[in-house]
Amino acid sequence: MNLRIEGLNFAYQPGTPVLRDVSLEIGAGRVTGLFGPNGSGKSTLLRCLNGSLRPQAGRVWIGDRDAAKLSPREMARLIAVVSQDTPVSLPFTALEVVLLGRYPHGELWQADSLEDIGFARECLARLDVADLWERHFDQLSGGERQRVIVARALAQQAPVMLWDESTSHLDIKHQLGLYRLARELAAEDRAVVMVCHDLFLAPLFADQAVLMKAGSAFAMGSAAEVLRPVNLSRAFSVNMTLSWPANDSIAVSLKNI
């Protein structure tokens, strides 16, 4: 399902806009990397996409449906979000947390079906945390918790996935695992958007990149185009060159270390 964003403007307080006239096209079957410095509006953009924030102007189209007209429940069936502030303390086991992802598909008080439970365990397995299903969420490490939360988003079976810094607590193996998962999901014709601060691995897995700066989509296109030295220096005020000797490697060089 394609996402189309048209002229999005958002401000938490009048007079200090966080998003300025953002227009983007996010295609199904692709991984989109959303890059940009702290406070450039990446997370706010994600929250506008799934309707948890109402933009003051502009539209979001999910397929051919206007996001503003969807109920929270309909939205949760179309867009699964892994947000930055995942809860630290929850009285649930890992499996129970993943089963919460089935919430938008279930009715009222009904029990989890065997299919739901099987599916939830598959989701845990895809994130390499299948063995932890019985463990309490509180007792998991930060990285394990993060993977359980991603598994919960998978359990939502939504055609659009929005990941907000989902790799931040992960070791290198699991970062790669998550990026590969993004590719797999894209291959299932889903749209995957990942907000990342990682400029060294994420670009290898992103079909397209968007660079945000001060609330605007400053540059978009292929990762190599978008993360050119001139853009990096303008967005991050860092003098750095990323070069792509091959499809599976990135080299970094810094002007003054």
Partner 1 sequence: MTKEEPTHQGGWTQGVPAPRARWLTPALLLALLAATALALAAGSVSIPPIEVFRALLGHLNDDVTGRILLGTRLPRVFAAGLVGAALALSGLASQTLFRNPLASPSAIGVSNGAALGAVAGALLGARLNSVGYVFSTALSVSGGLVVTALVFMLGRRGRYFGHALLLAGIAIAALCSALTTAMLYLAGERLQSIVFWLLGGLWLATWREVWIVAPVTVVGLAAMVFWSRDLNVALLGERSARDLGLDLPRLQRRLLVLIAILASVAVSVSGVIGFIGLIVPHLARLVTGADHRRLILPTALGGALLLVLADTGARTLASPAEIPVGIFTAATGAPVFLWLLQKRRPAGAP
Binder of partner 1 out of 26, 45, 76, 202 (CB under 8 A) = 76
* Binding residues for partner 1, total number by CB under 8 A: 42
* 9-48: contacts with partner 1 (CB under 8 A): none
Nearer Cβ to partner 1, position 137 or 179? 137
Site for partner 1 contains 104 (CB under 8 A): yes
What is the CB neighbour count within 10 angstroms for residue 237? 8
Nearer Cβ to partner 1, position 97 or 223? 97
The burial of 252, by beta-carbon neighbours within 10 Å (0-12 exposed, 13-18 middle, 19 or more buried), is given as exposed
Site for partner 1 contains 196 (CB under 8 A): no
Nearer Cβ to partner 1, position 190 or 208? 190
Tokens of 249: 């490697």
Site for partner 1 contains 7 (CB under 8 A): no
Report H helices in the chain: 42-49, 72-78, 94-99, 114-126, 142-155, 172-187, 202-205, 223-226, 229-236
Site for partner 1 contains 65 (CB under 8 A): no
Q: How far is the CB of 116 from partner 1 (least distance, A)?
A: 12
249 — alpha (psi -120 to 50), left (phi > 0) or beta?
beta
Q: Going residue by residue from 203 to 242, which x/- string records binding to partner 1, judged by CB under 8 A? A: ----------------------------------------
Nearest alpha-carbon partner for 84 in 170, 166, 153: 166
Which residue matches tokens 């399902």?
A: 1
Binder of partner 1 out of 74, 128, 198, 207 (CB under 8 A) = 74
Q: Which stretch binds partner 1 (CB under 8 A): 4-12, 105-113, 121-129, 174-182?
A: 105-113
Q: Going residue by residue from 77 to 96, which x/- string records binding to partner 1, judged by CB under 8 A? A: x--xx-x-xxxxxxxxx--x
Phi, psi of 125 (to 5 degrees): -65, -40
- Number of C-alpha atoms within 13 angstroms, CB side, residue 28? 13
DSSP type of residue 24: E
Q: Going residue by residue from 140 to 169, which x/- string records binding to partner 1, judged by CB under 8 A? A: xxx--x----------x-----------xx
Cβ atoms 95, 136 nearer than 8 A: no
Distances (CA, A) of 173 to 31, 98, 169, 201: 19, 22, 12, 12
Binder of partner 1 out of 44, 50, 166, 167 (CB under 8 A) = 50
Site for partner 1 contains 75 (CB under 8 A): yes
- Which residue ranges make up the site for partner 1 (CB under 8 A)? 50, 52, 71-77, 80-81, 83, 85-93, 96, 100-101, 103-104, 106, 108-111, 134, 136, 138-142, 145, 156, 168-169
